[in-house]
Amino acid sequence: MKILVTGGAGFIGSHVVDAYLDAGHEVIVVDDLSTGHRENLNPRARFVQLDITDPKVVELIRDERPAALNLHAAQMDVRRSVADPLFDARVNVLGTINLFEAARKANVRRILFVSSGGAVYGEQERFPAAEDHPTNPLSPYGVSKRAGELYASFYQAEYQIPFVALRYANVYGPRQDPHGEAGVVAIFSGRMLRGEAVTINGDGRQTRDYVFVGDVVRANLLALESRATGPFNIGTGKETDVNELARLLLDAAGSRSEVRHGPAKPGEQRRSVVDHGRAERELGWRPEVPLADGLRRTVDWFRARGAK
């Protein structure tokens, strides 16, 4: 199968590309390298450097006629979305519509849209949140991801293009970028391996659902082959607070770094955890990598790279 993956030079997207190639698929990677890295690109994939808002993406998809689109490219910085909602909307809403229009014109048979299991729900009413939980996003990023899901639903209903929206929990693992709007696992791993102090925002009791990138990749493989449609939570269903996460990372790194507490981040979500029951029932997916094991693999990867 020919698959076009946007954001295929990024942290998660590059792992998905590797898995699709290993499964025997033909892969085209579209990435503007604004946050992705050339070193993540698999040489067996064809690479095209393009922004997803560029009209040339429509031409590329029209000419290549892939069977499926896997949409990982996004403006993913929550803080930037708050500071510049127009930029967030241009990339995440207009860029997504640009891709959906291209899919319509090229008769694409399936779309895998990457969403967010934390941002689209907002402050949860139930723990863990299932897919029918109210969506009350608290950031423009969350709004744009929910909008992408709704547009995907429209294109499925109007043009019969089946879609799956993978609502990722907090993904961590090798290749995560410790710079910019990075995940706490990447930031803490680097600092601990260098023996530097780490700072936890607030009391550290805010929780997240941490899912290993290898498990997320399996979800992308299963969703590609499935006939299921609609949103699917991809997470562990387990809450881990930042204090516990720091303890596990210290152990994995064999580090004695000082753990400090700083001011709480204004507006930070207190608890976030998703129910993966629908993915288990309909995709045959469930998380397999325990948090401690995944963190060790991640720290080992940063250690091998010199904790840059």
The amino acid at 291? L
DSSP-based helix, strand, coil % in the chain, nearest 5: 40, 20, 40
Sign of the CA dihedral running 83, 96, 5, 139: positive
- How far apart CA 162 and CA 156 sit, in angstroms, is 5
Strands 210-212 and 170-172: parallel
Q: Phi/psi at 179 (nearest 5 deg)?
A: -110, 160
Where would I find the H helices in 182-241? 184-193, 213-225
Q: Phi/psi at 94 (nearest 5 deg)?
A: -65, -35
Q: Phi/psi at 44 (nearest 5 deg)?
A: -80, -10
DSSP class of residue 285?
-
Identify the active-site residue in 141, 168, 172, 210: 141
Q: What is the CA radius of gyration of the chain?
A: 19
Active-site residue flag, 155: no
Are 169 and 116 in contact by the 8 Å Cβ rule? The answer is no
Tokens 């997207």 correspond to what residue? 13
Strand partners, 5: 29, 70
Catalytic residues: 141
